[in-house]
Structure 1
């Protein structure tokens, strides 16, 4: 850390607000508006903490890259996938498990309360406006699940005046991939609107490997079809007063393997959400924000041994009051209710629960000193009140260099499956489970000029009462129990620099994700990840290359040799040529070296593949 601080002013990377991230990261625009870090709109340049944004341009130029893969290229995020882009996946933010990271669409949580999963495969990046990433525990802002961070997928327009824009793409690639999309957006006379849709299909590749201890292998190809539609409509009748509605509907029909004799297995994912928001500037010091949303998840697995459906509906009602006490001090009061219900082929002992919450958020800016504090109390059916808090302090050392420190607590309510699964094949849920809890501490520093930027973030998170979903006694009676503790320490260093038309970036994440009881490495989490890349624009053409190296991981708690997932490096190339300001041809060559690797034991990842795309904007 000391060595890094010495060389920091000579490095070049993404600032704390925008760490060196994925390919084609744009220079941060001062008017980029984010809503996640403090539950309210603010310029990205004014945000303090470890926050970054995947821009609209990056998402629309993602090619055949899935949202899971795009997120895994960001600092401090790792991922696993059980086969191709149509399969179940999970994200590890700062080493937290997928169930410990809150994922939202337009501020509405989409983590399935039945299992804790998120169906990211049903979301096409090209139908999304932007993705906001908040690293570090945020339970004091959003309640349960936000122990590792928050990923907010925004589909609505930012409301700023802009002319009508029509955009779209059509492309083909390896494995008979076909992908097309079209959308429009704009804002004028108080109205803002956005509508985007996409379709993709592929023959796919074999999702599984024939490895010891696995019973799902089948040598066939596993293809998929995906369709997405998102939109928003808003009206601002005077400054600070807007009524808006947004929706997302994602569908994925994907094959999976369930054994050599079962050749017609597939799963259907649905990710649907709709939200209505009313922003009202009641006085010059009081803003009211009413938000009502409904989210529906479903996964329908079809196989010869039987069908299985699991789904959930979440309704959220919130009223946030933002008070500007004076020029330096702002205070927000949040009142929130969340109703959860689950459905499917498994009948749980209880299938509904409710959470009532109240929270306070304070932001103070005093010349070079910046403070943000939050406190929240949640009351969930069957549990006592849970209070979480956060305190962050940032200091502007110079106009280009800043440093900060933060501490926070987090928690996660067990899923319905953990609590209420009925007795089946020797397994039964445990209704006496306690919530998982965490305590985090982080240090950060960032340096930024017009052409260069640099950031270093170090953190430590201690977890208690972690839930082991499958604990068995001597009689092979199995259930879920709070048995584990873990400590995750990490440091992330990122750098970026621009030389006229050339951009170079580099980053590294070092992490020690340790099970306190055994001293072993937490499953599917690597200790090191390295990123490096460059892009160059000359005339109407551009080229770029990105390389990511991920260290060794294990797919079991005991870190056995049999379940060791070897380290791997993936090289991706891209090029484009603009025929005009409205039409551009793009080519993506992913996994150029055809690296064979696993992110989940027994499951393949895609080898070398090419995608050709034609994109237009008008």
Structure 2
């Protein structure tokens, strides 16, 4: 069982709070000593905790290296409660469905910075470089009471790589695989007791596959060049400052109705943040964050700007001031203010091109005897769709040393996008400025076990969403309601020296009025990962199973279920060099997650790593 924070001296809790809050509010300035914080989760409570009551999953850099998965949507889909659709292979449009909610119902943070497109309402998961990731925290369930809009299904926070207390250390990797896929990555990490830094450049490219059967029968390639950097500095014992930057530039070729012309889009994903934390007193920590994220999209045909295409460049700026109070050795209080500003620059003349959101929130995390809890409340005031008040209540009870029961309830909302609110009248579509935010109520209960042989958890939940936004020619209306019921199971153990991870999800995502299943969401999902070390060798395999799904809201187009088998092997040549080989979809299963869009066949990747 994980050690309780009750056993930690107050000065240690304060040190961990300082380091971890640099992550949560919101920029990862050193996760302090990594081995000390591996048990901590930041995103679930928007403050550090070793006993997060919300269902959550942590994906570490070691997990990513072991699974040898090189694109973010596929990686996320291997974990509990997450379904994924893909429209044509590596780098093509991909959507994430968390606990059966819509693709826009998950809040995504990168080093604490909100990452999304203000026009589309979702981030471009397929463009985020996996080589830049240090850690991912996934929180399932309503989180608007802490974070505001979008967090109906949950929150996914990506932490980029950070420096370590060591002399400058370079590292690099090169890889080649199916469909002329190439990868190269290099970086340097270092620091001392007061300053840490990290920088990385990554290239990924592929000839791709034919994205659609019915359109231009060619290979639709993809290329992505990314750079990330961060520096963190301890000015004094109680005052730190940090900065982080990530930029990914991609080119994605896609099919159109023309059989002869070459269509592609240039995309940019950029995140920039500056943060500072100041320990005002022994029990009061103040954190300030200034950040910006950008999503840019430009379309071309035969190398020239597409006359029928559109340019969408969105910018999100964020200011957060959070005060964390150590009320006692076992209780913490967060009181904060968030300010968000969205702006759109486009070849489309939107009726409005910017909007502001101001929010106040408070949360209380504590432990007493066998009880633990989290209570939060938040009030958002948005100039586009009005005011919203949301909250979260969670409680846990330690039945035995290794068994805990948890219960949670929360409200959440999803803001309408600029497209839905302000798109000009083009005949077949026009924005509706009278739209309200989508709203939800979520309830859940769970049982968590922790023993010498491993850990497990089972969670049941219900999420009822009203005022769902639905396109009704020629505009969008708040007309639908949905009810999603589900149960999740997660297990991690070691058996005969094999490391085993298993998760399964069963859910009912239904339209309340029609009784139809919500589109593009499978009702049953399962993943099994097994790995073992043999001296300098390691081998492993994964099995992913997905039930059938419907491609449309009327449930007329059914896409069959599928099972995928992945195999992997790695060899440590010496202390610095290693080589890895993986094969995905070993049995060459043909399947679709979006009607008429192909998915990858059997693929392989051979990679050489240098890591002193």
TM-score (norm 2): 0.91
Q: State the partner residue of 1:505.
A: 501
Q: Is the 8 A contact 2:164 2:197 kept in 1?
A: no
1:574 aligns with one of 562, 565, 568: 568
| Consecutive unaligned residues in structure 1, runs of 5 or more | 1-27, 211-216, 473-477
Of 123, 132, 138, the match for 1:127: 132
Question: Is residue 272 of structure 1 aligned with residue 270 of structure 2?
Answer: yes
Q: How far apart in 2 are the matches of 1:471 and 1:29? A: 52
Residue 30 (structure 1) shift: 5.0
Instruction: Structure 2: give runs of 5+ residues left out of the alignment.
Output: 1-33
Hey, what does 2:179 align to over in structure 1? 175
The secondary structure found in structure 2 opposite 1:409 is: strand
Alpha-carbon offset, residue 328 of structure 1: 2.6
SS at match of 2:74: helix
Which residue number corresponds to residue 384 of structure 2?
A: 382
User: Which residue is equivalent to 2:292?
Assistant: 294
Separation in structure 2 between the aligned mates of residue 493 and residue 131 of structure 1, nearest angstrom: 19
In the alignment, which residue of structure 2 is the partner of 1:325?
A: 327
Q: What secondary structure, in the 3-state scheme, does the structure 2 residue paired with 1:261 have?
A: coil
User: Per-residue displacement from partner, 1:565-598 (whole Å, max 9, x unpaired)?
Assistant: 1101111000011111221110010000101111
Distance 1:164 1:406, change over 3 A: farther
Task: Report the equivalent of 2:42.
Answer: 35
**Is the 8 Å Cα contact of residues 469 and 480 (structure 2) preserved in structure 1?**
yes
Distance, in Å, in 1 between the alignment partners of 2:127 and 2:477 is 31
Q: How many residues align?
A: 574
Q: Which region of structure 1 is more displaced relative to structure 2, 159-168 or 173-182?
A: 159-168
Q: Is the 8 A contact 1:119 1:269 kept in 2?
A: no
- What is the aligned counterpart of 1:259 among 257, 260, 283? 257
Question: For 1:311 and 1:305, how far apart are their aligned partners in 2?
Answer: 17
| Cα pair 2:172 2:610 within 8 Å, conserved | yes
Q: Distance in 1 between matches of 2:519 and 2:238?
A: 47
Query: 2:534 maps to what in 1?
Result: 538
Query: Residue 485 in 1 paired to residue 481 in 2?
Result: yes
The question of 1:242 aligning with 2:240 is answered yes
Alignment of 1:7-406 (within 5 A): 31-32=37-38, 33-42=40-49, 45-60=50-65, 63=68, 65-157=70-162, 161-162=165-166, 164-210=168-214, 217-303=215-301, 306-406=308-408
Q: TM-score, length-normalised on structure 1?
A: 0.90
Match of 2:450? 448
**Separation in structure 2 between the aligned mates of residue 521 and residue 288 of structure 1, nearest angstrom:** 46
Distance 1:537 1:315, change over 3 A: same
Compared with structure 1, are the counterparts of its residues 351 and 522 closer, same or farther at alpha carbon in structure 2 (3 Å cutoff)? Answer: same
| Alpha-carbon shift at residue 59 of structure 1 (Å) | 3.2
CA distance in 2, matches of 1:75, 1:362: 27
Q: Secondary structure at the match of 2:424?
A: coil
Q: Per the alignment, in what secondary structure is the counterpart of residue 338 of structure 1? A: strand
Aligned residue among 399, 402, 413 for 1:411:
413
Aligned counterpart, 1:20? none
RMSD: 1.6
Question: What is the match of residue 472 of structure 2?
Answer: 471
For residue 110 of structure 1, report the CA deviation from its aligned partner.
Answer: 1.0
Map Cα deviations across residues 150-180 of structure 1 (whole Å, 9 max, x no partner): 11111152x7645544322101000011101
